[in-house]
Amino acid sequence: MVTEVVKIENLTKHFPIVGGILQKTIGYVYAVNDVTMSVREGETHGLVGESGSGKTTVGRIIVKLTNPTSGRIIFDGEDITRVKGEALRNYRRKVQMVFQDPYASMNPRMTVKSALLEVMKIHSMHKGSEYEYATKLMERVGMSEEHLYRYPHELSGGQRQRVVIARALSVEPKFIVLDEPTASLDVSVQAQVLDLLKELQKQYSYSYLLITHNLAIIKYISHRTTVMYRGVWVETAPTQELFKNPQHPYTIALMSAVPVPDPTLRREKIILKGEPPNPIEKVVACPFQDRCPYVMDVCREKMPPDTDLGSEHLVRCWLRA
Amino acid sequence: MLLSVRDLIVEFYTYRGIVHALNGVSFDLDKGEVLGLAGETGSGKSVTAFSIQRLLPANAKIVSGKIVFDGVDLLELSEEKMREIRGQRIATIFQDPHTYLNPVFKIERQFLDVLKYNDPEIKALENKKEAERIAFEKAVEMLKKVKMPAPERVLKMYPHELSGGMKQRVLLAMAYSLTPDLIIADEATTALDVTIQAQVLEIMKELQKEKNLSVLLITHDLGVIAENCQKAAIMYAGRVVEIGDVKKVLISPKHPYTQGLLKALPRTDKEVELVGIPGTVPDLVNPPTGCAFNLRCPYAKEICRTKVPPYTLEEGSTVACYLYGGK
Ligand SMILES: Nc1ncnc2c1ncn2[C@@H]1O[C@H](COP(=O)(O)OP(=O)(O)OP(=O)(O)O)[C@@H](O)[C@H]1O
Ligand SMILES: Nc1ncnc2c1ncn2[C@@H]1O[C@H](COP(=O)(O)OP(=O)(O)OP(=O)(O)O)[C@@H](O)[C@H]1O
Ligand code: SF4
Ligand code: SF4
Ligand SMILES: [Mg+2]
Ligand SMILES: [Mg+2]
C-alpha cells in the first residue's frame, strides 16, 4: 500500500503589499494560487516551474516557516495546518528543509560539530550521545570525524552542502524539502550530492520534495513530478510518463527549451512569446493564457478543470478537458 | 583568424597570496565562428573575457602572453586605442545586467549615450538634436530586432521595471547596435528561466548569422554550447585542456576532465548513471605541479605530477594530456 507522508490541498499564499502613509494593504503578491500534491513514503516528488512561480513558498509552507492563506497540509494523515505549541515542535522534528546556498544557511562562526549538536539540543534528540550521533552522521554523508572541527569556510561547496544535509538528518526526519540543493555546486560535485541523496533514501526511506528548475535533475532523481506556473499546479505525473508524454502546453514548451548537450540532436524548439507573468495580478482562469500558443476564449474565462488522463497523470488545460 | 589568444598568464595579488588564475590560455576564433568556453566555477572563463577587453581589476596582472585581434596585439595598445576597440569592435554581455545598466537612469538615456559615444555616424553629427533623434531611431530599431515588445515604452523605463529577460535583451540590443566584430557573452543567459533563455539564444543566433559575427560564448552549460556553438573549449584551473569541433568534444571527449564532466552530467535526452569526479578543484594559490587535474585523474602517471602537459592534436581535437601524443 502506498502511504502518503505529506499531502497539500488547494494551497494558496498571498503576501500583502503594504504602502501609502497609512501603511495599508494596497495589493497582494499572489505567490501560490492553487497547489495540490502529495509525497509518498520513500518517494522523491519533483516540483518544477520558472523563477517566481511559488516553489520555495510551497516548501516553506510545508515545513511551517510561513502559514498558507488558505488550503490544508496533511502530515501522516493528520491536518497540521494550524498546529501550535508542543504539536508544532513535534512536527518540526519530522520535517526539514535544505536550502540552495549552503554557505548562507550555516553560521560562519560555528564549527560543524557545534552546528550539529545545537540542532540536536533544540529538538532534545540523542540526549547524552549527541557526539557519537554527529560522527555517525558525518559518515553517512561521506565525510569524516575530522571535518567536525572545521568552520564552514574550511570546507568546499560540496562538503558544505553535505553538512547541511547532515544537519537536516540529525533530527531523524521523515520528510525533507530540498530547495535547489545542488544549484550552487559544480556538476562534478553535484553528481556526488545527488547520489548521496538517493542512497540515503534507499537506506532510510526518506521522502523528499525536490524543488528545482533543472529538468535533468528531476529526470535523474524524482519518481513523480509536478509542474507549476504562476503558483498553480498545471500538470502532475510519474516522471517517466511526464517526459514521454507531456500534455500541458507549458510543460511541452519547457521540455523543448532545455538545452541538450548532444550536438548531433537537432530539435525544433518551441519559442514562447511574451514575458514572465506579473505576480501582483490575481490569477483568474488559466495561469498560462498570456504565453500559450493555443489560447482560446474559454482559457481567459475559467480555470481549466483537473483532467485525469489515467496512470496518475493529471493536467489542467482546456485543450485536454 | 579574428582572435588569437596565446599562452596568456594572469595573476591576482591577494592577502592570501598570488592567485594563478590563468596559466597559459590559448585558443583561436575565426571570423563568423561561435566558440563555446566551458568549465567549472573558478576555471578562468571570466578572467579570460576581462583580459580580452583589458578590463581586469587593479590587483590583477597580465604576466605574459598575446591577445591578437584582427592582426593587432591588444596588450600593446594604448588605453585610448583600446577604448575605441571596446566601444566599437568587441562588445561584452555579462550575466549580471547591473554591471552595465545604471539603476538611476532610464534605458533611453543609457542606450542613446552608448550610441552617441561609440557609433561613428552619430558621433560625427554636429547638430546635437539631430544626433539625439537619429540615436533614438536606431535604439528603437535595435530593440525591435531583439523582439522587444513596445520598444518606445521600454526606452522610458528604469532597469528595475524590466524582467531579467528584457534587461538581457536591452543589453543585446546595445551590444549589437555598434556592429562589433566580436561579441563576448559571459553567462549571458544563465540567470534566465529556460523558456526565456531559449528566446534570448534564438535572437543571438539570428543576429550572429545576419552579420556573420564571431562570438565567444562563455557558459558552464554544455547543453547551451552543444546547441549554439561550432567549436568548444573546456577550461580547467586556468588552462584550456581541450578544444575542437563541438561534436568531437562533446561526443568523443579526449581529455579525462572533459570525459568526467560529461559522465557527471544529468541529462534529459537519455537515461544515465552519474559518476562524479572525486575531489575538488585545486586552490589556485597553491596549484599542483604538472597537470592541474592530476589529483583527480584516474589515469595520472609519474610525469603528470611534474611537468605541464603540452598540446597535442588527437583526432581533430587539441588536447593537453599525456595520454596522447604517442609518448
Ligand atoms: N516574504 C515575501 N513577501 C512578499 N513576496 C514574497 C515573499 N516571498 C516570496 N514572495 C514572492 O512570491 C513569489 C513566489 O516566490 P518563490 O520564492 O516561492 O518562487 P520560486 O518558484 O521559488 O522562484 P525561484 O525559482 O526564483 O526560487 C515571487 O513573486 C516572490 O517575489
Ligand atoms: N578580483 C579577483 N581577485 C582575486 N582573485 C580573483 C579575482 N577575480 C577572479 N579571481 C580568481 O581567478 C580565478 C578564475 O576566476 P573566473 O572568475 O575567471 O572563473 P570563472 O571560470 O568565470 O568561474 P564562474 O563559472 O564561477 O564564473 C578564480 O580562482 C578566482 O577566484
Ligand atoms: S487552458 Fe488554454 S491557455 Fe491554458 S494552457 Fe490550455 S490551451 Fe493554453
Ligand atoms: S596529463 Fe595526466 S593527470 Fe593530466 S589529464 Fe592527462 S593523464 Fe590525467
Ligand atoms: Mg525558490
Ligand atoms: Mg565567470
Would you call A220 and B220 a contact, using CB atoms and an 8 Å cutoff?
no
- H/E element holding B279? none
For residue B101, the model assigns a pLDDT of: 86
Give how far B146 is from chain A: nearest CA, Å: 12
Q: Is B47 in the pocket of ligand 2 (CB under 6 A)?
A: yes
Does B224 reach chain A within 8 Å, measured CB to CB?
yes
- Nearest alpha carbon, ligand 1 atom 18: A54
- Please report which ligand is nearest the Cα atom of A278: 1
Are the beta carbons of B220 and A195 separated by less than 8 Å?
no
Nearest CA in chain B to A243: B268
- Of B16, B276, B7, nearest to A188 (Cα)? B276
Average pLDDT over residues A290-299: 96
Query: Looking at ligand 3, which residue's alpha carbon is closest to its atom 6?
Result: A317
List the pLDDT tens digit at each of the 327 positions of chain B: 999 999 999 999 998 899 999 999 999 999 999 999 999 888 999 999 999 999 999 999 999 999 999 999 999 999 999 999 988 899 998 877 677 788 899 999 999 999 998 888 898 888 889 999 999 999 999 999 888 888 999 999 999 888 888 888 899 899 989 889 999 999 999 888 899 999 999 999 999 999 999 999 999 999 999 999 999 999 999 999 999 999 999 999 999 999 999 999 999 999 999 998 988 888 899 999 999 999 999 999 999 999 999 999 998 899 999 999 865
- Atom of ligand 2 minimally distant from the CA of B95: 27
In short, whether A311's Cβ falls inside 6 Å of ligand 1 is: no
CA separation for the pair A288, A303 (Å, rounded): 10
Question: Based on the number of CB atoms within 10 Å of its own CB, is A183 exposed (0-12), middle (13-18) or buried (19 or more)?
Answer: middle
For residue B249, what is its C-alpha cell? 568534444
Overall domain count for chain A: 1
Residue nearest to atom 16 of ligand 1 (CA): A54
- State how far the Cα of A280 lies from the Cα of B115, in Å rounded to an integer: 35
Which residue carries 589515469 as its cell?
B299
Give the Cβ contact number of residue A188 at 10 Å: 24
Residues 6+ apart with CB under 8 A from A21: none
Return all residues near A65 (Cβ < 8 A) that are at least 6 apart: A97
> How close, in Å, is residue A103 to chain B by CA atoms?
16
Quick one: pLDDT band at residue A286, thresholds 50, 70, 90?
very high
In a domain, A321, yes or no: no
Nearest by Cα to B116 from B102, B105, B127, B106:
B127
Pick the residue whose CA is nearest to atom 1 on ligand 4: B321
Residue A105 · residue A99 · CB < 8 Å: yes
pLDDT in tens, A67-114: 999 999 999 999 999 999 999 999 998 999 998 777 778 888 999 999
Supply φ then ψ for residue A96, to 5 degrees. -140, 160
> Facing residues of B94 across strands?
B186
Compute CA distances A232 → A11, A226, A285, whole Å.
9, 10, 11
A54 pocket-lining for ligand 1 (C-beta < 6 Å) = yes
On the question of pLDDT at A120 being above 60, the answer is yes
Among all chains, which residue has been given the C-alpha cell 490544508? A72
Look at residue B281 in the predicted model and tell me its pLDDT: 84
Paired sense of beta strands A314-315 and B17-29, if any: unpaired
Angle at A77 between CA A76 and CA A83, to 5 degrees: 80
Find where cell 561609440 sits.
B118
Closest B-chain CA to A194: B274
What mean pLDDT value characterizes chain A? 92
CB atoms B227 and A192 under 8 Å? no
Question: Which atom of ligand 4 lies nearest, measured to the CA of B255?
Answer: 5
Model pLDDT, residue A162? 87
* Residue linked to cell 489515467: A310
What's the per-residue H, E or C state across A46-110?
EEECCCCCCHHHHHHHHCCCCCCCEEEEEECCEECCCCCHHHHHHHHHHEEEECCCCCCCCCCCC
> What is the predicted pLDDT for the residue at A258?
95
SS3 assignment, position A122: helix
Give the Cβ contact number of residue A25 at 10 Å: 12
Question: If you search the block for the grid coordinates 536591452, which residue do you land on?
Answer: B170
Q: ipTM of the predicted structure?
A: 0.89
Q: Which atom of ligand 4 is nearest to the CA of B309?
A: 1
How many CA atoms, within 13 angstroms, populate the side-chain half-sphere of residue B171? 28
Helix (H, G, I), strand (E, B) or coil at B35: strand
Domains of chain B: 3-89+180-324 (3.40.50.300), 102-179 (no CATH)
Mutation pick for ligand 1 pocket among A13, A14, A18, A29 (CB with most ligand atoms within 8 Å): A29
In chain B the beta strands, taken as DSSP E runs, fall at 3-14, 17-29, 34-38, 60-69, 72-73, 90-94, 182-186, 214-218, 231-236, 239-245, 311-314, 317-320
The reported pLDDT for the residue numbered B326 is 66
CA–CA dist B296, B292 (Å, integer): 9
Ligand nearest to the CA of B239: 2
Cβ(A5)–Cβ(A45) under 8 Å?
no
Q: List the CATH number of the domain containing A287.
A: 3.40.50.300
Domain that holds residue A105: 4-316
Q: Which of B163, B197, B247 sits opposite A264 (nearest CB)?
A: B247
Atom of ligand 2 nearest to the CA of B47: 18
pTM (whole model) above 0.95: no
- Higher pLDDT residue, A156 or B67? B67
pLDDT computed for residue A186 by the predictor: 85
Q: Answer yes or no: do A215 and B197 touch at CB < 8 A.
A: no
**Alpha carbon of A129: minimum distance to chain B alpha carbons (Å):** 31
C-alpha B116 – ligand 4 centre gap (Å):
51
Q: Choosing among A254, A258, A268, A269, which should be mutated to test the B contact, i.e. which has the most B CBs within 10 A?
A: A258
CB A242 within 8 A of CB A225: yes
Residue of B nearest to A186 (CA): B40
Determine what percent of chain A is predicted with pLDDT higher than 90: 67
Min Cα distance A70 → chain B (Å) is 28
Answer yes or no: is A167 within a domain.
yes
Report the C-alpha gap between B165 and B95 in whole angstroms.
Answer: 11
| Residue position matching grid coordinates 576564433 | B29
Task: State whether B227 and A260 contact (CB < 8 Å).
Answer: yes
Q: Residue A125's CB: how many other CB atoms inside 10 A?
A: 15
Q: Which ligand is nearest to the CA of B241?
A: 4
b/e map of A96-109 (b: 16 or more CB within 10 Å)?
A: bbbbbebeebbeee
- Residue closest via CA to ligand 4's atom 6 equals B321
Nearest CA to ligand 2 atom 5: B12
Cβ–ligand 4 contact at B297 (below 6 Å): yes
Nearest atom, ligand 3, residue A292 CA: 8
The strand order across the sheet containing B34-38 reads B90-94, B182-186, B214-218, B34-38, B231-236, B239-245, B317-320, B311-314
pLDDT at A1: 63
Tell me the DSSP string of A123-163.
TT-STT-HHHHHHHHHHHTT--GGGGG--GGGS-HHHHHHH
Residue B290 pLDDT: 96
Residue list, CB under 5 A from ion ligand 6: B 45-46
d(CA A94, CA A299): 40
